[in-house]
Chains A and B, each alone.
Chain A
Amino acid sequence: MILTGRVWKFGDNIDTDIIIPAQYLAHTDPKILGRHCMEPLAPTFHEKVKAGDIIISGYNFGCGSSREHAPIAISALGIPLIIAKTFARIFYRNAFNKGLALLEADITDHVAEGEEIEVDISTGLIRCRAVEIQAKPIPPFMVELINAGGLINYLKKQLEGKHERV
């Protein structure tokens, strides 16, 4: 699958309190969560971002809490993909479980804010204006999980199988 989108650049250690501050965690509605995405760093982010845009970041994106509200808030804005140097482990699981794609690559120095890039999610090839960069391949187990339609669909199929046997 090939995605084309404008780039929004963030730095290192973007934590979940930045992605979605705790004061909004009593909400579960994606639309409301999206409105407060990145609020402490960029209060108008939700207004400026367009569906299809891509987040680019440095090391340890998504560090901090286990709140799944974080990938939900990002997806609610129509952002399909984050490319970062590394991801915090709980955020990594949560994003794939919620259908938000992540690629690990060092591209922050090669793209300008607002630049359009083209990304082949299946091969991990990123085409920036100046260079092509190959992301680390998504681990085979995660690919399997994605192909199964995510963890919840995988579970659904397991349960349906069980019910049939009963």
Chain B
Amino acid sequence: MGMTITEKILAAHTEKDIVEPGEIIEARIDLAMANDITAPLSLEEFDKVGAKGVFDPEKVVFVLDHFTPNKDILSAGNCKKIREFSKKYGITHFYEGGACGIEHALLPEEGLVVAGDLVIGADSHTCTYGALGAFSTGMGSTDLTYGMVTGRVWLKVPESIKFHCFGKWQKWVTGKDLILYIICMIGVDGALYAAMEYEGEAICALSMDSRFAMANMAIEAGAKNGIFKVDDKTIAYMKEHAQKPYKIYESDPDARYQSVYEIDAATIGLKVACPSLPSNVKDAAELKGIEIDQVVIGSCTNGRIEDFEMAAQILKGKKVAKYTRCIIIPATPKIYREALRRGYFEVFLDAGCIISPPTCGPCLGGHMGVLAKGERAVATTNRNFIGRMGDPGSEVYLAGPAVAAATAIKGSIAYPEEVL
């Protein structure tokens, strides 16, 4: 019986040749990551166990991205603790200040994750790196402490669900629309404990940025990981960024799947997830007239250069609607610089947008764009739970960059053709 890409990567990180879904394994990890919200709890546990150090200072990563630039005194204190720990234990990849970006955009860009890796992170969106053909999954701070100290993690081998996508994409549609379509189809627990695996000609046609956005939201269907077949685009990306050799794994033709879905790309339009679940998805055209107070274009899902390219195409020569705020958050310093170099900032500033430094900020209602009671946002982020971006009486609609930019101009939910 054949194995899936997920099973092969997991097996390669144990002493076994074969692993099977449902089996509990203890696996070696290639990287363990935490941020300014999850690391403080990890470090408290680290102190409790009396460890002498981390398993490998090159393979433990701290990214201070959530409540930074420090939003208050408590956050500043948390960052200080992580900084001091990093100094003490010689952590190589400690990111803050001008070197820092949103973790799941930053790590691939820095070349710290490559195909074939097994990565754990104390952040649920750690599943993003599956876009590179790696196994990566989110867990809590205590699991992260165990990984940081031992270089190992216990995992239940997940079953896999295959999504085979064919056909041609419509204009403006990105991986975000496809993943919202899929979450709507299978539900917010439709892939609970499972691996979501993508392949097919329509997947190959997607950019790396689109694939990162899709792998990122695997957790929104309850999945353990999302994973893509490595192709020319993946290899080109790794050649540009990788700091270490990669290893390509592919699913066997006779690998076992919990289920297989066939999706025709041509049938997928611009999607919006309405409050308060990522599965509550409608076509953007059905939501015309819903007034929006704030638009956020950024996050670990859609804060990459392709997203700003699309937003700039739509916002060029236009103005953000009166009484609507549009916040642009490039996910990393490199993306920030590239958007600046390409002249997008000029477009955004002329349109009346706010440009924020890289931060998770408003996505989780932290800072830099928190909503008041009764306010509504369209965001290119990943969650629209009750109170996610601020007051429990505020609402979040999730969309891709094209709908977000068009909505900023119109002041109500819109698609590009309405404003161009």
CB-CB under 8 A for A88 and B383, given A65-B124, A152-B49, A158-B150: no
Q: Does B193 contact A (CB under 8 A)?
A: yes
A60 and B192 form a contact (CB under 8 A): yes
Q: Which of A39, A59, A88, A155 has the most CB of B within 10 A?
A: A155
CB-CB under 8 A for A22 and B141, given A60-B188, A86-B189: no
Q: Does A134 contact B (CB under 8 A)?
A: no
**CB contact list, A10-68 vs B, under 8 A:** 13, 15, 17-18, 21-23, 25-28, 39-41, 59-60, 63-68
Q: Can you list 14 A-B pairs with a CB-CB distance of less than 8 A?
A: A17-B387, A18-B386, A25-B66, A26-B78, A39-B392, A64-B124, A65-B364, A65-B383, A66-B140, A68-B141, A88-B222, A97-B140, A155-B150, A159-B50
Q: Does A165 contact B (CB under 8 A)?
A: no
Instruction: Write out the residue numbers on chain A whose beta carbons fall within 8 Å of the beta carbon of B193.
Output: 89
Q: Does A93 contact B (CB under 8 A)?
A: yes
A64 to B192, CA, bound (A): 12
B49 and A15 form a contact (CB under 8 A): no
Shortest C-beta distance, B326 to chain A (Å), equals: 22
Q: Which of B71, B75, B365 has the most CB of A within 10 A?
A: B365
B50 and A60 form a contact (CB under 8 A): no
Of the candidates B41, B123, B143, B365, the one whose C-beta lies within 8 Å of that of A23 is B365
B44 and A68 form a contact (CB under 8 A): no
CB-CB under 8 A for A28 and B44, given A64-B124, A66-B139: yes
Q: Does A94 contact B (CB under 8 A)?
A: yes
Instruction: Write out the residue numbers on chain B whose beta carbons fall within 8 Å of the beta carbon of A26.
Output: 37, 67, 71-72, 74-75, 78
Q: Which of B45, B78, B124, B365 has the most CB of A within 10 A?
A: B124
Count chain A residues whose beta carbon lies closer than 8 angstroms to a beta carbon of B.
41
A97 and B143 form a contact (CB under 8 A): yes
**CB contact list, A51-105 vs B, under 8 A:** 59-60, 63-69, 72, 86, 88-90, 93-94, 97-98
Q: Which residue of B lies closest to A96 (CB)?
A: B142
A159 and B149 form a contact (CB under 8 A): yes
A63 and B38 form a contact (CB under 8 A): no
Instruction: Write out the residue numbers on chain B whose beta carbons fall within 8 Å of the beta carbon of A21.
Output: 365, 387, 392
Instruction: Write out the residue numbers on chain B whose beta carbons fall within 8 Å of the beta carbon of A22.
Output: 37, 364-366, 388
Q: Does B351 contact A (CB under 8 A)?
A: no
Q: Does B69 contact A (CB under 8 A)?
A: no
B154 and A68 form a contact (CB under 8 A): no
Count chain B residues whose beta carbon lies closer than 8 angstroms to a beta carbon of A.
51
Seen from chain A, the residues whose Cβ lies within 8 Å of a Cβ on chain B are 13, 15, 17-18, 21-23, 25-28, 39-41, 59-60, 63-69, 72, 86, 88-90, 93-94, 97-98, 139, 141, 150-152, 155-156, 158-159
Q: Does B88 contact A (CB under 8 A)?
A: no
A40 to B371, CA, bound (A): 14
Shortest C-beta distance, A102 to chain B (Å), equals: 14
B24 and A141 form a contact (CB under 8 A): yes
Instruction: Write out the residue numbers on chain A whose beta carbons fall within 8 Å of the beta carbon of B143.
Output: 93-94, 97, 151
B385 and A18 form a contact (CB under 8 A): yes
Q: Which of A22, A23, A141 has the most CB of B within 10 A?
A: A22
Instruction: Write out the residue numbers on chain B whose beta carbons fall within 8 Å of the beta carbon of A17.
Output: 364-365, 383, 385-388
Of the candidates B74, B150, B365, the one whose C-beta lies within 8 Å of that of A27 is B74
Q: A39-B392, A159-B50 are in contact. List 6 more A-B contacts (CB 8 A).
A: A17-B388, A25-B364, A26-B75, A93-B143, A98-B142, A156-B49
B188 and A13 form a contact (CB under 8 A): yes
Instruction: Write out the residue numbers on chain B whose beta carbons fall within 8 Å of the beta carbon of A97.
Output: 140, 142-143
Q: Closest 9 interchain pairs by CB?
A: A94-B140, A40-B392, A26-B74, A22-B364, A97-B142, A68-B140, A60-B189, A40-B387, A66-B124
